[in-house]
């Protein structure tokens, strides 16, 4: 824009090129030369070459060259959100928008000739074209935004009508203020005033919009085949609308969406998140309820912001129906306390009904201060989610625990033929109390055991394993942790008992899926 402005003012090609390139380089250095900036720099260089040689500038060709150079340097950029969305935006501007505009203008011209609507004023035409371009670009990148950020803001199309035009004066003001700062603080302050005013205005608008219901819709992370499916819906909708089949276009798209839902079979999904030295298990019920069993770490900071909430969004969850706290050690509750601070929507918080877990407990104080409700359970209590039952095996009501670990909640999950045991940080001494309380209706063994206390030496006794006979065992522990978890003896006992062992310290998050008859367990792989 600056290059063209200087050329129109009669400045030489060399002067305009030096000024434009200098400011772009200055901006690139300030922003760390990210993917978008590198792409813009290469494309601007191609534009300058085209101007110099008198050739026609082709946006798609210059974009392709930028992509090749970036991938030659770092091939994994192909998987980075910033890189993919940046190129998708340029592709939509350079390829999709001109085609859509041509088709739309052709249709508008035909309707104008037919007298279906009067001619537009220049101002109204500019607004309509800007809105149309915004819709086309938004439709082009929205499926990718869902893939990388797991959420969508319906109001972004309207907001972009104000934000995008303001970016040029904002950038000019910011760069001008930075340059003037070398000579005078007062001049720099005056130069930055427009940028500050615009940023404060945007911040105020975004805060207001965020309060509107449906401002952010959490969709989860769609696989790549669903991304292609979304593009198919968009293309079908556009062409059917263009050919004036409005009613049919809506019905057809609804049919495609309904077909997508029909072929999705609900399953029980259990994820042991990788939180380092700590523990956090997320459960998504086939009936739609969401549950978190513990959520803390002593080796990672801000796990709610960087692990828990992103994981919940990944699974399409914007609230939690149940948060179960097995006990109140820091490595099991630090992230839950952060959720409290964020006022994250939680319907029920479940605690063990022990004497130590009274109203003066710190986690209860923090939760009640934010308005959360607490529920206490003890042995024989049960939570039901359709065909899924979560039965408490420990502790007894009013249990007097010597330490927090011995009073850990132990939960026995059954889903038709699938069974799993959650043990918190239970000690070996208390494990013996579980054996006579499974009930005759229980399965003769558990499919999956969540190994107690991160696989410590003092848990998972031989008699306990012989009683429950787990087929698989999952362990949450941090790499090279100070406690030596999981202990070699515990690993040997599990192996000797025939259990396949999975650990977050070896492969990251652990994913379990079951339809009630069969189950599969794997380390997390983004598909």
Burial of residue 9 (number of CB atoms within 10 Å: 0-12, 13-18, 19+): exposed
pLDDT of residue 444: 58
* DSSP symbol at 93: I
Indicate whether 243 pLDDT > 70.
no
What pLDDT is attached to residue 515? 95
What was the pLDDT predicted at 443?
Answer: 46
pLDDT at 167: 83
Model pLDDT, residue 391: 94
Q: What is the pLDDT averaged over residues 136-141?
A: 87
Q: Is 107 helix (H, G, I), strand (E, B) or coil?
A: helix
Q: What is the mean pLDDT of residues 245-264?
A: 58
Q: Please give the Cα distance from 5 to 323 (Å, whole number).
A: 59
Match 């950038």 to its residue by tokens.
171
pLDDT at residue 246 tops 60: no
User: Average pLDDT, stretch 33-41?
Assistant: 83
Residue range 176-215, pLDDT digits in tens: 888 888 888 888 888 899 999 999 999 999 899 888 888 8
Mean confidence (pLDDT) of the chain: 85
Distances (CA, A) of 158 to 49, 88, 124: 36, 20, 16
DSSP string, 35-77: HHHHHHHHHHHHHHHHHHHTPPP-HHHHHHHHHHHHHHH-GGG
Q: Of the candidates 370, 335, 332, which has an alpha carbon nearest to the alpha carbon of residue 352?
A: 332
Greatest distance between any 2 Cα atoms in the chain: 92
Lowest mean pLDDT among 33-47, 270-284, 460-474: 33-47
166-194 as b/e: b if 16+ CB within 10 A = eeeebebbbbbbbebeeeeeeebeebbeb
Q: Which distant-in-sequence residues (6+ apart) come within 8 Å of 137 by Cβ?
A: 89, 92, 93, 97
* Residue percentage of the chain with pLDDT more than 70: 87
Q: Which of 70-79, 272-281, 382-391, 452-461 has the lowest mean pLDDT?
A: 70-79
Question: What was the pLDDT predicted at 15?
Answer: 73
Closest CA to 439 of 516, 499, 379, 378: 379
Instruction: Give the C-alpha separation, 276 to 296, whole Å.
Output: 9
Domains of the chain: 268-523 (3.60.15.10)
Which helix (H) or strand (E) segment is 114 a member of? none
Q: Say what the pLDDT of residue 519 is.
A: 97
> Does residue 2 surpass a pLDDT of 70?
no
Residue with tokens 């950029």: 77
Tell me: the pLDDT tens digits for 424-464? 999 888 887 776 555 545 445 899 999 999 999 989 999 99
Confidence grade of residue 252 (pLDDT, cut at 50, 70, 90): low
Spacing of C-alpha 291 from chain mean position: 17
Q: How far apart (Å, rounded) are the C-alpha atoms in residues 87 and 76? A: 15
Distance of CA 423 to the CA centre of its chain: 28
**H or E stretch at 325:** none
Q: What is the pLDDT of residues 63-111, one digit of tens each?
A: 999 999 999 988 888 888 888 998 998 888 888 888 777 777 776 666 5
The secondary structure element, H or E, covering residue 224 is helix 224-242
pLDDT at residue 37 greater than cutoff 60? yes
337: nearest Cα among 366, 308, 315, 361? 366
Return the pLDDT at 332. 96
Distance (Å, rounded) from C-alpha 524 to C-alpha 504?
Answer: 10
Between CA 180 and CA 200 the distance in angstroms is 22
In the predicted structure, residue 130 carries a pLDDT above the cut 80: no
Please measure the distance between the N-terminal and C-terminal CA atoms of the chain and give it in whole angstroms.
Answer: 40
């Amino acid at each position: 824009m600056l290059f063209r402005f200087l050329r129109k003012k009669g400045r030489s090609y060399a002067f305009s090129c030096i000024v434009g390139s200098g400011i772009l380089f200055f901006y690139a250095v300030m922003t760390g030369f990210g993917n978008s900036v590198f792409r813009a720099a290469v494309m601007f260089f191609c534009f300058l070459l085209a101007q110099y040689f008198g050739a026609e500038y082709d946006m798609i060709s210059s974009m392709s060259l930028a992509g090749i150079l970036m991938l030659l340097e770092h091939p994994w950029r192909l998987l980075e959100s910033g890189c993919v969305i940046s190129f998708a935006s340029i592709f939509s501007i350079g390829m999709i928008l001109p085609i859509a505009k041509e088709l739309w203008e052709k249709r508008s011209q035909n309707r104008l000739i037919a007298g279906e609507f009067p001619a537009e004023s220049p101002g109204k035409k500019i607004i309509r074209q800007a809105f149309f371009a915004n819709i086309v670009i938004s439709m082009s990148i929205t499926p990718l935004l869902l893939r990388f950020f797991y959420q969508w803001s319906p109001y972004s199309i309207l907001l972009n009508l104000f934000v995008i035009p303001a970016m040029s004066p904002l950038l000019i003001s910011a760069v001008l203020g930075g340059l003037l700062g070398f000579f005078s603080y007062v001049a720099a302050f005056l130069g930055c005033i427009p940028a500050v005013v615009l940023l404060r205005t945007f911040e105020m608008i975004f805060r207001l919009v965020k309060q509107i219901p449906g401002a952010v819709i959490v969709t989860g992370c769609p696989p790549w085949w669903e991304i292609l499916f979304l593009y198919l819906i968009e293309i079908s909708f556009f062409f059917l609308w263009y050919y004036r089949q409005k009613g049919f276009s809506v019905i057809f798209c609804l049919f495609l969406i309904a077909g997508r839902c029909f072929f999705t079979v609900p399953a029980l999904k259990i994820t042991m998140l990788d939180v380092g030295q700590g523990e956090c298990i997320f459960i998504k019920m086939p009936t739609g309820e969401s549950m978190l069993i513990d959520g803390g770490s002593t080796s990672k900071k801000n796990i709610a912001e960087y692990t828990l909430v992103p994981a919940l969004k990944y699974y399409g969850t914007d609230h939690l129906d149940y948060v179960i706290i097995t006990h109140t050690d820091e490595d099991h509750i630090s992230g839950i306390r952060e959720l409290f601070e964020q006022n994250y929507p939680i319907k029920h918080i479940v605690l063990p009904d022990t004497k130590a877990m009274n109203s003066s407990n710190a986690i209860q104080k923090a939760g009640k201060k934010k308005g959360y409700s607490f529920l206490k359970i003890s042995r024989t209590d049960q939570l039901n989610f359709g065909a899924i039952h979560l039965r408490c095996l420990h502790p007894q009501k009013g249990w007097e625990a010597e330490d927090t670990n011995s009073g850990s909640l132990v939960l026995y999950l059954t889903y038709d033929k699938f069974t799993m045991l959650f043990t918190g940080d239970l000690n070996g001494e208390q494990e013996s109390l579980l054996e006579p309380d499974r009930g005759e209706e229980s399965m003769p063994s558990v499919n999956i055991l969540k190994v107690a206390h991160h696989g410590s030496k003092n848990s998972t006794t031989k008699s306990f394993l012989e009683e429950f006979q787990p087929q698989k065992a999952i362990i949450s522990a941090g790499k090279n942790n100070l406690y030596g978890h999981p202990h070699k003896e515990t690993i040997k006992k599990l192996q000797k008992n025939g259990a396949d062992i999975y650990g977050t310290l070896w492969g990251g998050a652990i994913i379990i899926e079951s339809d009630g008859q069969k189950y599969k367990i794997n380390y997390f792989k983004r598909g």
